[in-house]
Chain A
Amino acid sequence: QKEVEQDPGPLSVPEGAIVSLNCTYSNSAFQYFMWYRQYSRKGPELLMYTYSSGNKEDGRFTAQVDKSSKYISLFIRDSQPSDSATYLCAPTPLGRGSTLGRLYFGRGTQLTVWP
């Protein structure tokens, strides 16, 4: 079993829709949860991160973590064509001997928002 599972999609939604992107993970050591956005032929860029269970909101984006079920979600409200990209979840352990660069990426979900 991969440490991080993410449905690759593709996911296609109309402009204005609410988008839900999800990942599951198996490693209980993961304590820090990041979402990266990757536009076509570009490098990933950090979108959001959260440390604790619960919700974290940033504009139209909400990251949700449920550590008890090892489930990570990213919600996009009022989606725009400019949100069309691949979204990668990336949990990581923290603590002695770990490195924040040792990200365990999901495969990424390709999202298209059409006008």
Chain B
Amino acid sequence: NAGVTQTPKFRVLKTGQSMTLLCAQDMNHEYMYWYRQDPGMGLRLIHYSVGEGTTAKGEVPDGYNVSRLKKQNFLLGLESAAPSQTSVYFCASSPGQRLGNTIYFGEGSWLTVV
């Protein structure tokens, strides 16, 4: 019962480097999301997807790109990492927009940009 799996779990990047965070869900969910969590700021939505091949901007999209080529995967890319992107990143998925649908979160990816 994997649920939502994020890789890698920990990563240290140098300023200007690029990287991709991978999110995979095995629940056949339509909706997927990327959030970041910072001390004192709570969880903020970066990008989300309401289906394969679709993406949309969330609250804090600048500096990130996403792709949803396969229904089960949602990739978050940092093209040129900055220290301000040091954060914990959470991927989430849900079946769709119905009352009572649960949103499931992954375990998180800790990213440090030096």
The answer to whether A101 touches B92 (Cβ under 8 A) is yes
Given A43-B4, A101-B94, 13 other A-B residues pairs in contact with their CB atoms under 8 A: A8-B40, A41-B108, A45-B105, A46-B103, A99-B31, A99-B48, A99-B97, A100-B101, A101-B31, A101-B92, A102-B45, A102-B58, A103-B103
Task: Tell me if A30 is interfacial: C-beta within 8 Å of chain B.
Answer: no
Known: A88-B43, A102-B45, A102-B48. A43 touches B101 (CB 8 A): no
Whole-angstrom CA separation of A46 from B103 in the bound complex: 7
The answer to whether B48 touches A44 (Cβ under 8 A) is no
The answer to whether B42 touches A101 (Cβ under 8 A) is no
Q: How many residues of B contact A (CB 8 A)?
A: 28
| CB < 8 Å neighbour of B90 from A44, A98, A106 | A44
Which residues of A have CB within 8 Å of B103?
A: 46, 100-101, 103
User: Which 10 residue pairs spanning A and B have beta carbons closest together?
Assistant: A43-B105, A107-B42, A105-B43, A105-B42, A101-B33, A101-B31, A44-B105, A46-B102, A43-B107, A100-B97
- State how many angstroms separate the Cβ of A49 from the closest Cβ of chain B: 7
Whole-angstrom CA separation of A80 from B9 in the bound complex: 30
The answer to whether A100 touches B107 (Cβ under 8 A) is no
Task: Considering the complex, give the chain B residue whose CB is closest to the CB of A94.
Answer: B99
Whole-angstrom CA separation of A99 from B31 in the bound complex: 9
| CB < 8 Å neighbour of A44 from B41, B43, B50 | B43
